[in-house]
Amino acid sequence: MTETKTPWLKNYGDVPFHLEYNQGSMFDAVRETAAKYPDNIAYDFMGKSTTYKKFVSQVELCARALKSIGVREGDRITIAMPNCPQAVQMFYAINLVGAIANMVHPLSSENEIEFFIKESQSLYVITLDQFYGKFEAIRKNVNVANIIIASIRDALSTPVKAGYMLVEGRKIAPIPKDAPVIRWKEFLRRGSTYHWTYEVDKNGPDPAVILYSGGTTGTTKGILLTNLNFNALSAQIVTTNPMFRPGDKMLAVMPIFHGFGLGVCIHSMLAVGGRCILVPRFTATSYAKLIVKYRCNFIAGVPTLYEALLRLPSMDKADLSCLKGVFSGGDSLSVELKKRFDKFLYDHHATIQVREGYGTTECVTASCLTPTHVQKEGSIGQPFPDTYYKIVKVGTTEEQPYGEEGEICISGPTVMVEYINHPEETANTLKVHDDGRTWLHTGDLGIMDDEGFIYFRQRIKRMIVTSGYNVYPSQLENILDAHEFVHMSCVIGIPDPYKMQKVKAFVMLKPGYSPSEETKETLLAYCRKNIAKYAMPYDIEFRETLPTTLVGKVAYRELEAEEEAKLKAEEKAEG
């Protein structure tokens, strides 16, 4: 094997390049930590704290319950939940019984949920009562043996539960008493009466989790990840943050169905004795309140989150001296926003600055982070321990010289196994280079300087990033084009100061249909049924024709340029 260039080592400071990783399962890593710190708090949820010792017993009970309903080693189980105790317990229980967790956004449309279940071949589902209707609607189309229904109220302390039922609980439509589901309390009761073997011995290379991303073509695909992928990430996160101490608090607001939330905010903390503050639903106001209330040590989020915090009057007198680490990922952090947020941190007594990272779901999440002791403006940092970066000429495996733009490629212990059911795209994405290593071709353009600092440029693949979520225009166009009114559509992302980008659709109607507010509302209602909330177009503009390239494809870049020109004209008029 040819030695890969590692110019970043000279700037690693005290961070070692090679680490030892837990070679067991994800739950093995958590259980070992619980043995060291049984009385430490593992997580807090809406005012209720749970120790590591209690957490392990909850996971074991949940694992017995899974066995009691027939779950077998290798089964796929869909978790469609926000950040709440039952989601975390179920995630590790699935790992303990040797099954695979299929992580799904609970706000996905019915059609998307059906796709995720079929793609993963999930036999079981766990979700919250408020999402029951979606799953019941598609149940006849999927091969699901059991749906387990949990409720936020089941995880609350008695005083908080009363308030929750008065405000939020009353909004949730009751589930019919004869509904063919297993309710959470009944599920756990079954576990308490199960006394046979429930633990399956799993190792680092064994598949454990499916997360979703668009891959290099923009079509949603399931990414199969292993125990080692997550355990390695945890060790890398802690090693690159030597200020971490067991008991430190992470505000876990990034969602559990996202690699950033699951990998960085939850597993990386629970595998080393950290304390997760679970946040089931994000609002900037509640986020700010929790940082101050819990005196959080670490926060991780997308740039829009930090933009929102800057706008909150409630943060004016907040003391943020408790912060040890603030991480930005999921989208590019503009130099301007970083400067403004760094000043905000300084003005609120924090002694640290925002550290930007970069990663892809194909590597769980982050694989590169700005070091604590040296930063470069515009850089997304340097590779994690045992992780190699290479910039290659697009469409080849030929390495570019330092300072030359090309495709970012990554090799290391967090790289995925495959795209499930898509061997051709897996082969196009994971390639063995002349150095003998398997490299992940990210589909992103970047530059590496001669000190190993990486600079992200743009995505080769066409993709919209809105509030940290990846939205794939081709998928939305397929949905719009399926409507009886629509002849052709084009979806683009438009710069937005809060969301980074917002989604806009351009539509050519079929003959016989006229542009009108009524037509637009019909299409938007159709979109709301078939498209996740975060991916919804904010507007539909009707066009008699759409610009096309020489080969007849819709020239989406022309539409992007038009919208950019409009924005500049509006800014000039206002200024």
Residues 17-50 have pLDDT tens digits of 999 999 999 999 999 999 999 999 999 999 899 9
Question: pLDDT value at position 69?
Answer: 97
Question: pLDDT value at position 186?
Answer: 97
433 or 445: which leads in pLDDT? 433
**∠ CA 426-469-171, rounded to 5°:** 125
Binned at pLDDT 50, 70 and 90, residue 1 comes out as low
The SS3 call for residue 361 is helix
Residue 103 has pLDDT above 90, yes or no: yes
Question: pLDDT value at position 12?
Answer: 80
Please give the Cα distance from 206 to 227 (Å, whole number): 6
Residue 570 has pLDDT above 50, yes or no: yes
Q: Which CATH superfamily is domain 7-15+379-459 in?
A: Luciferase; Domain 3 (2.30.38.10)
Same topology, domains 7-15+379-459 and 47-202? Answer is: no
Residue 165 has pLDDT above 80, yes or no: no
Question: pLDDT value at position 550?
Answer: 46
Are the C-beta atoms of 295 and 326 separated by less than 8 Å?
no
Q: What is the CA radius of gyration of the chain?
A: 24
The predicted model gives 294-317 an average pLDDT of 86
Estimate the share of the chain in helix, then strand, then coil, as percent rounded to the nearest 5.
35, 25, 40
Binned at pLDDT 50, 70 and 90, residue 228 comes out as very high
295: left (phi over 0), alpha (psi -120 to 50) or beta: left
The predicted model gives 228-239 an average pLDDT of 97
Are the C-beta atoms of 138 and 118 separated by less than 8 Å?
no
How do 124-128 and 146-150 pair as beta strands?
A: parallel
Binned at pLDDT 50, 70 and 90, residue 467 comes out as confident
The SS3 call for residue 564 is helix
Please give the Cα distance from 452 to 363 (Å, whole number): 19
The predicted model gives 541-549 an average pLDDT of 86
Please give the Cα distance from 74 to 217 (Å, whole number): 28
> Where are the domains positioned within the chain?
7-15+379-459, 47-202, 464-574
Find residue 508's DSSP bridge partners. 488
Please give the Cα distance from 230 to 262 (Å, whole number): 9
The torsion angle over the Cα atoms of residues 121, 233, 26 and 152, rounded to 10 degrees, is -70
Residue 3 has pLDDT above 70, yes or no: no
Q: Which of 386-390, 395-399, 443-447, 462-466 has the lowest mean pLDDT?
A: 462-466
Question: pLDDT value at position 463?
Answer: 78
Binned at pLDDT 50, 70 and 90, residue 556 comes out as confident
Residue 551 has pLDDT above 50, yes or no: no
Binned at pLDDT 50, 70 and 90, residue 281 comes out as confident
The predicted model gives 316-341 an average pLDDT of 87
Residues 51-63 have pLDDT tens digits of 999 999 999 999 9
How do 388-392 and 182-183 pair as beta strands?
A: unpaired
Residue 552 has pLDDT above 60, yes or no: no
Share of the chain above pLDDT 90, in %: 69
The predicted model gives 261-287 an average pLDDT of 92
Give me the count of residues in the chain: 575
Residue 115 has pLDDT above 60, yes or no: yes
Residue 437 has pLDDT above 90, yes or no: yes
Residue 282 has pLDDT above 80, yes or no: no
**What does the DSSP assignment read for 279-310?**
-SS--HHHHHHHHHHHT-SEEEE-HHHHHHHH
The predicted model gives 178-200 an average pLDDT of 95
Question: pLDDT value at position 285?
Answer: 85
Q: Which of 183-197, 328-342, 525-539 has the lowest mean pLDDT?
A: 328-342
- Which whole-number Å values give the CA distances from 74 to 97, 117, 222, 225, in the listed order? 9, 15, 16, 13
Buried b (16+ CB within 10 A) or exposed e, 253-280: bbbbbbbbbbbbbbbbbbbbbbbbbbbb
Please give the Cα distance from 276 to 41 (Å, whole number): 8
Are the C-beta atoms of 214 and 462 separated by less than 8 Å?
no
Please give the Cα distance from 540 to 543 (Å, whole number): 10
Binned at pLDDT 50, 70 and 90, residue 126 comes out as very high
Question: pLDDT value at position 215?
Answer: 53
**What does the DSSP assignment read for 201-258?**
---TTSEEEEEEE-TTTTS-EEEEEEHHHHHHHHHHHHHT-TT--TT-EEEE-S-TTS
* CATH number among 2.30.30.90, 3.40.50.980, 1.10.1740.10, 3.40.50.11400, domain 47-202: 3.40.50.980
The class that CATH gives domain 464-574 is alpha beta
Which residue's entry shows tokens 């899974």?
66
Residues 146-163 have pLDDT tens digits of 999 999 988 887 777 767
Are the C-beta atoms of 342 and 353 separated by less than 8 Å?
yes
Q: The whole model's pTM is what?
A: 0.85
